[in-house]
Structure 1
Amino acid sequence: MVSANAIVAVLFIIGLSIFLYRERKKIEFQRMLFPILYFVLLRTKLGLKFFDWCAERCRRPLIWAGYAGIVVGFLGMAAIAFELVYNSYRILTEPAALSGVGLVLPFEAQGVFYVPFIYWIVCIFIIAVIHEASHGILARAHKIPVKSSGFAFLGVIVPVIPAAFVEPDEKKMKKRPDKQQLSVFAAGPFSNIITGILFLLVFVYLFLPAVPSVYESTGIEITQVVEDGPVAIAGIEPGTVITSINDKMVLDSESFFEAVGDEPLDEIMVGTDKGEFMVRPEQRDNRSYFGIFIAEKLNVRDGFWGGQWGAMTFSWLMGLFQWLALLSLGIGLFNLVPLGPVDGGRMFKIATNKLFKEKGDKIWASVSWLFLALILFNVIAGFL
């Protein structure tokens, strides 16, 4: 059966292709390996009046927020740079170490950070708009002209990954003081980090406390079974719901771990919705290893005022805020990597030129190449 995510993905690609064909006289191609890999740019004036409106009414608070963004930006740059170097070292010295960087895509594959398509497209759009609007608003707060805004799409044969952009007047911006330029470049990542924290707070303090009012746990669902693990050998398949262990009722995570206990077990009887199975756990680090991934099996509570549709809406919104928090923080920090054209790279270039004068460009280029190599190393390591 075809999933809803697959249907929406196909409809999105078809609809986007038709739209870009109709607007073909207005779009600009940046050919990299055309037609395999390319960028499509659609310049507009969307949001420019809004940028002016924000800048005129909140100029002083925006300027101070921009300066705070510089501090957060360089701290974030140091953090993400350290993480990339340290994780690369771990990959080389620890075979089991996980890659620190991965492609965020709406399909499952080794080395890919999977996000369901509907969440992926909504989150990428929201995050990109917040990011680019922040650049535009800060530019106007410093009275730097913004020539255009628009949408961009990365094409891999067909246009797939959406993005957004604003286009400040680069010639005029380069004539501004360093702190003004830095605040404009830092605005995008800073806004993603701030909104990521806000999304996380909504998820933790609004949605999570409401879960028991909407759902009740009726067991532990096995979401994934490790090949040749104890549970796989016993014949238990993904989707099976564990309801008891050694005749002890299991309704939620707490009762599951209580039934399993901390001591290693030789053999247990696992009761499920598909019958009973004898499982012989492996002993690892003086604990029982089952070779499964689990999640609580949740059913809508009887009498919940929203019924099934209300519960589905609640779950979808809860997932949306979870993904928004995770992706906003991740994308915000990644944009602070001291790498060539990204915001962190442009901030780093200003800093090196200020500190090292004539040698600044060489240092910036060397560091950019280093971090490009580290990113590619981490991405490739994820596929191996």
Structure 2
Amino acid sequence: MTNVFIIYDLTFLILFTLFVILFLYRRRKNLQRQGLLYLYRTKIGIKFIDLFTKKYSKILKSLEYIVVFSGYILMISVVWLLAKVAWFYLTSPVVAKALKVPVLIPLIPYLPDIFKIDFLPSFNFTYWIIIIALIAIPHEFAHGIFARLHKVKIHSTGFGFLGPFLAAFVEQDDKQMSKIKKFPQLSILAAGTFANVLTTIVFGIIFWLFFISFFVPAGVNFNAYATSAVNISSIDEVNGISITDVSQIPLLLNGTYSEIIIDETLYFANSEALKTAIEKRIYGVQVFDNSPAYQSKLEGAITEINGEKITSYEKLNETIQKHSPGDKVTIKTFYQESVRENEIEERNYNITLGERDGRTFLGIGKIPPQTSGLMGLFYNLISNIKDPFIFYESKLGSFGWFIYYFLWWTVLICVSVAMVNMLPVGIFDGGRFFYLTVWGLTGSEKIGKKAFAASTWIILLMILAMMIKWALIFT
């Protein structure tokens, strides 16, 4: 993100905050304070909700089963995902350090910049205000539409203000809602997240169409040098000194990487990882080969080899194999420190190609993230749109990337809000949804309340445990 845009964006944030303050001051008679939040109630949108419900009542009735089913799918998915994240977060020595950001934090502008999360694009205020509207308005209106479908009165619509941060609401008659049957209540509760799912799908399609229309391959990315699996007990030398016993190795390690020799072959091992492996008596480790790429510290997306354009891994392999081991080539790369940096540094490397298994050898690789479940599904969906190991150029320049990351954040936040809102916790729609479900299955409201309270406390304790671990690491 350029400094010029940051200035514009922060100016927009200040002006918007002043507008909110002035707006609330002039309409202070319509405001109601609830804690730190100010609620501004209106009747805007109620007529639209009524007209929409009357016109499409048959379609909405038939959609109820899909809406409720989606609620259960989201609830099961988010509980499973939270449990998995909590397990890895609490048991892994590296996950919390890698994520950096607390597990419980409001979605605020510039979050990746504040916590220096290099793998996330910048999240500016302009993105934030538009995405909040795209999430909140369909979500709340969907609640209102399904409430009116079951003759539940809508008292008001409006906005909640916490400084420049906004929330939308549709206020239905809770007493009326509590008197209708359980299934209609479930459909009203799940309607908001269903709207978020639809929004995700719509913007996912827009994201895909925009990307294939305005982006072209211009290079290949890599995230690893060539490696080999070796047995620590086979090491003959460490940093030029011969050894006769594994216990000697930690005493000879120095720097980030140490040279090791096995059967007269040179490798480079991460000193800290090698030391830890020996302490834990893990004798199989991954080490870097003595490859041309490693020796030259090749970095960035490979865009050219001796002036020949590289736009795919097939083209890269074809170009390398045109040369023989020992040939000198000039490799051009585009280096970008993080996805939040617009500045791209052009670099040129003069490299002598090597030989491996009878083929010309550069020594780079690509290791896909080891993801599974919903995160794996999300990664695969995004990868099908934009291959993470291809370097792309925008036909629209910086503006193209601005729109790309706006759509990226929209899809990610929409699906995240849909899932989080179905957590079986008191403050979310999923809380009452879970309570009604247990009540309906057991026939006992008392059991439903106990199950609801138990799920709330279990999830809050999981989050508290992760927050404590984060605090211990970063404070």
Per-residue deviation at 1:116?
Answer: 2.5
- Encode CA deviations 1:184-220: one digit per residue, 9 max, x unaligned: 001001111122122212322x223212xxx555557
Asked if the contact 2:90–2:466 (Cα under 8 Å) also holds between the matched residues in 1, the reply is: no
Give the match's secondary structure for 1:336.
coil
Give, in whole Å, the separation in 2 of the partners of 1:347 and 1:188. Answer: 12
| Structure 1 residue 380: Cα displacement | 6.2
CA separation of 1:324/1:13 partners in 2, compared to 1, >3 Å: closer, same or farther? same
The aligned counterpart of 2:274 is: none
1:335 paired with 2:335, answer no
CA-to-partner distance for each residue in 1:45-100, whole Å, 9 max, x for gaps?
11100110011111122122123211110121011101111111111222233669
Q: Secondary structure at the match of 1:105?
A: coil
The answer as to whether partners of 1:189 and 1:333 remain within 8 angstroms in 2 is yes
Give the C-alpha shift of residue 257 in structure 1.
6.3
Q: Does the 8 Å CA contact 1:133/1:166 hold for their aligned counterparts?
A: yes
- Please give the alpha-carbon distance, in whole angstroms, between the structure 1 residues aligned to 2:134 and 2:320: 43
Counterparts in 2 of 1:318 and 1:110: CA distance versus 1, 3 Å: closer
Partner residue, 2:434: 348
For residues 97 and 248 of structure 1, the distance between their equivalents in structure 2, rounded to whole angstroms, comes to: 41
Kindly tell me: are residues 297 and 350 of structure 1, through their superposed partners in 2, closer, same or farther at Cα, counting changes over 3 Å? closer
Alignment of 1:228-307 (within 5 A): 243-244=303-304, 247=306, 249=308, 251-252=310-311, 254=313, 258=317, 270-272=331-333, 274-277=346-349, 288=364, 296=391, 298=393, 300=395
TM-score of the pair, normalised by structure 2: 0.62
State whether structure 2 residue 197 is matched by structure 1 residue 125: no
Tell me, in whole angstroms, the C-alpha distance in 2 between the residues paired with 1:260 and 1:139. Answer: 64
Seen in structure 2, the aligned counterparts of structure 1 residues 168 and 279 have a Cα distance that, compared at 3 Å, is farther
Q: Unpaired segments of 5 or more residues in structure 2? A: 223-255, 258-287, 322-327, 334-344, 353-362, 367-387
User: Structure 1 residues 24, 92: CA separation in 2 closer, same or farther (over 3 Å shift)?
Assistant: same
Please give the alpha-carbon distance, in whole angstroms, between the structure 1 residues aligned to 2:212 and 2:201. 18
SS at match of 2:23: helix
CA change 1:373–1:366 in 2 (3 A) is same
Q: Which stretches of structure 1, 4 residues or longer, exceed 6 Å deviation after superposition?
A: 228-231, 233-237
Q: CA deviation at 1:125?
A: 0.9
Residue of structure 2 in register with 1:45 after alignment: 43
Q: Aligned residues: percent identity?
A: 28
- Residue equivalent to 2:66: 68
Query: Can you give the 5+ residue segments of structure 1 that lack an aligned partner in the other structure?
Result: 32-37, 223-227, 262-266, 281-286, 301-307
Distance 1:369 1:257 in 2: 54
From 183, 189, 197, the equivalent of 1:185 is: 189
Instruction: State yes or no: 1:106 paired with 2:167.
Output: no
In 2, Cα distance between the equivalents of 1:194 and 1:314?
Answer: 24
**Cα distance in structure 1, aligned partners of 2:20 and 2:312:** 43
State the SS of the aligned residue for 1:338. Answer: coil
> Whose radius of gyration is greater, 1 or 2?
2
What SS does the corresponding residue of 1:115 show, helix, strand or coil?
A: coil
- Give the counterpart of 2:143 among 135, 160, 171: 135
Q: Is the 8 A contact 2:74 2:419 kept in 1?
A: yes
What SS is found at the alignment partner of 2:33?
strand
Q: Is the 8 A contact 1:242 1:250 kept in 2?
A: no
Q: Find the aligned partners of 2:27 and 2:195 in 1 and give their Cα distance.
A: 31
Aligned-pair CA distance for 1:163: 1.2
Counterpart residue identity of residue 128, structure 1: A
TM-score by length of 1: 0.75
Equivalent pair of 1:193/1:333 in contact (CA under 8 Å) = no
Partners of 1:106 and 1:115 within 8 A in 2: yes
CA spacing shift, 1:81–1:244, aligned 2, 3 Å: same
Q: Is the 8 A contact 2:331 2:350 kept in 1?
A: yes
Q: Which moved more, 1:80-89 or 1:345-354?
A: 345-354
Secondary structure at 1:40 match in 2: strand
Give the Cα separation in 1 of the matches to 2:196 and 2:176. Answer: 26
Report if aligned partners of 1:80, 1:336 keep a CA contact under 8 Å in 2.
yes
| Deviation per residue, 1:114-149 (Å, 9 max, x gap) | 523211210111110000000000000111101011
- 1:25: how far off? 2.6
Is the deviation greater in 187-196 or in 95-104?
95-104
> Number of paired residues?
344
What is the distance in 1 between the residues matched to 2:59 and 2:213?
A: 35
Partner AA of 2:10 in structure 1: A
Tell me the equivalent position of 1:305.
none
Secondary structure, in 3 states, of the residue corresponding to 2:164? strand
Matched-pair contact (CA < 8 Å) for 1:336–1:343: yes
